[in-house]
Structures are given as C-alpha cells and as structure tokens.
Amino acid sequence: MNADIIKRIVRAIADGSQSDLERLARKVAEAERKQGHARLADQLQEILDKPRPKKSSTQAITDSERGLKELPLSRRHGELLATVIPRESLEHHMVLPPEVEDRFARTEREYAARERLGAYGLRNRKTILLYGPPGCGKSLGAKRLGWNTGLPLLKVRFDALISSYFGESAANLRAVFEAARERPCVLLLDECDFIARSRSTSKDIGEASRIVNSLLQLMEEFDAPGLLVATTNVESSLDNALFRRFDEVFQVPLPGPKEIEKLLRLTLSSVHVAELVNWEALVRQLSGASAAMAVKAAQDAAKAAVLSGEKIVSESLLRNAISELRHGNGNDGQG
C-alpha cells in the first residue's frame, strides 16, 4: 500500500468520514489485485460487499458537511480559493440537441461505472472542457454533471487565486487541485481562459506563463476521485497544449427551434398558459437567443401575469418579455 493511500485513510478516520473510508478500502483491494494478490483482494472485496445497516439521512448530511469544511485558502491572505455548492442546491435541467445530450450522458455513465471500467484497466472520463457562446449553458452543464453523479460542485474563485507575488498563483492553484483529490467533487474552472490563455499571445510572460505551466502539469497528473470541468467562451484563446489534457472537449451550442420551444414550455409548466399561443412565432422571435434568454423571457412573462392578477400567461406577455430582453433590458444569464 503506497504512502498516499495510507495518509488518506488516516485523514478519513480523523474526519470520521465513512464514505471516504469505504472508497479508499476499495482502492486498497484494487491495488492488491494488480499486485497479484488475488486471494487477499477477493477477501477484502467480500468484506466490503457484505450488507451494512443504512445510515440515517442526518448521518449522511454530517459526513457531507464535514468533507466540505476543509476548503483551500490563499497562502498570503487566507481567502477561500473555492466555493462549494452542495448537490441538492444544483440546477440541473437542460434542454440540449441529442448529440450534445449524449456526450453529457456518456460522462455520467462512465462515472457511475468507474469501478467496473477499472477492473478492465480502463479509466472513466475525468476532465471535460465545455465551450460555447455566453448563456448557452456551460456552467449549468457542470452543475448537471454534479447532480447526476451525486457530487458537490467546487467552483474555483479566480479573483482570490491570482496573485501578483512570484509563484503564488501557481501555489494557490495546486492547493485547489489537492482539495479536489481529498474530497470527491466536480471541480469547476469557470471561464478558465482567465488562467489558461495561450502563452504565445500573453503579454505577461512571467506569472501568466507560470500559472499555465502549473495548470498543464496538474491536469497531466489529475487523478482525483471526482471530475474536473472547465468552461470557456473563447476556446481559440486557450493554450493549445491544454486541449490535449482533456478527456472530453465539446461545444454547448445555442438552442435551436425545438430546444427553444421546449425551454419555454418547461419554464411555464408550473403556471397557467393561454390556450391560443403561437409557439412557432415566439420561437422565431427568439431565434439565435441563448438558452438563458429563453428561460428568462418565460420567467418574466410568468411574473408579469401573476403581478397583473390575471394569473394566465398570454402570448402578448411572452412577446413583450422577449422584446425587452432583445433590446438589452435583461441579463443573458447563465454561461
């Protein structure tokens, strides 16, 4: 058993985290099997597979909260380098073209079957880069992966991570990756071009180059129990070497006509909608809009209906809401 696993087992015991202990015990069994100790590995597996009393919901919450307390801090000012969004607080409903939905679903299936894949020497997709225009749902995609894998979301705070002091930004970044190794999570590098811009185009040769080099090394060695998701609006500005570090790179596109209509109908599913609504005309009015704009237009129309006392969302309310957003009076929302 290597020293890293021993340290993590001791830390899990000190934290009282039963879920971490079980995960690490399975790693020990896998390691013994790889070393040719099949009988011992079978015995360990048999022990782990025995039915155990189910923990109460109170105990489960305690374990989860305990695991999220040890968040990484910046070296100089002691600021939090990341914020945690628990799984139960994650937005996760997405309307996507079938081919994009399949890419998300494949990552989720592989995570669920990671131990089965490992038995065949295969590794599930762990690092994902999502790119696309603002408001298309990249950040929402990271949240959806957290929800469907049962993992909390650990979102990196670049404002706290970046430092003007020599080498400090890279050290902060390493602390974040270490935190992701210690606790299963979806590590989100939202708008990662902030730290991953091409070294050939950056004017700040020193610190910018160091943090990109550090990111490349950390991703090369990434073996955390969860997932890493990076998002960007401008994939062309990312360092070319970074793309090779991702297991999965795909675009989250703007919604097409079918997706826009479904977004409108889903958003309005909890309120009364007038029977005679020309959905095709509304979709045309939203042509080229982001998913966030379509959702916001439906929400604004629903609020207007409630506040007017009519409690029925009419086509005119939807048209007005879309028109206001088109003229720049609304926020295009989730990236």
Query: pLDDT per residue over 173-203, tens digit each?
Result: 999 999 999 889 999 999 988 777 755 555 5
Between 111 and 197, the more confident residue is 111
SS (H, E, C) the chain: CCHHHHHHHHHHHHHCCHHHHHHHHHHHHHHHHHCCCHHHHHHHHHHHHCCCCCCCHHHHHHHHHHHHCCCCECCCCCCECEEEECHHHCCCCCCCCHHHHHHHHHHHHHHHCHHHHHCCCCCCCCEEEEECCCCCCHHHHHHHHHHHHCCCEEEECHHHHCCCCCCHHHHHHHHHHHHHHHCCCEEEECCCHHHHECCCCCCCHHHHHHHHHHHHHHHHCCCCCCEEEEEECCHHHECHHHHCCCCEEEECCCCCHHHHHHHHHHHCCCCEECCCCCHHHHHHHCCCCCHHHHHHHHHHHHHHHHHHCCCEECHHHHHHHHHHHHCCCCCCCCC
Highest mean pLDDT out of 10-14, 61-65, 81-85, 267-271: 267-271
Please write the tens of the pLDDT for every residue from 36-81.
Answer: 888 887 887 888 887 765 544 434 443 444 444 467 787 666 788 8
CA distance 123 to 127: 11
Q: What percent of the chain has pLDDT over 90?
A: 51
Distance of CA 295 to the CA centre of its chain: 20
All residues at 6 or more sequence positions from 306 whose CB lies less than 8 Å from its CB, including other chains: 271
pLDDT of residue 19: 64
Taking all residues of the chain, what is their mean pLDDT, rounded to a whole number? Answer: 84
Average pLDDT rounded to a whole number, residues 204-218: 77
CA distance 227 to 188: 9
Longest Cα–Cα distance of the chain, Å, equals 73
All residues at 6 or more sequence positions from 268 whose CB lies less than 8 Å from its CB, including other chains: 298, 301, 302, 313
Q: How many residues does the chain have?
A: 335
Q: Is the pLDDT of residue 325 over 70?
A: yes
CA distance 43 to 41: 5
Q: Is the pLDDT of residue 168 over 80?
A: yes
CA proximity to 211, closest of 227, 224, 197: 197
pTM summary value: 0.73
Backbone angles phi, psi at 10, to 5 degrees: -60, -40
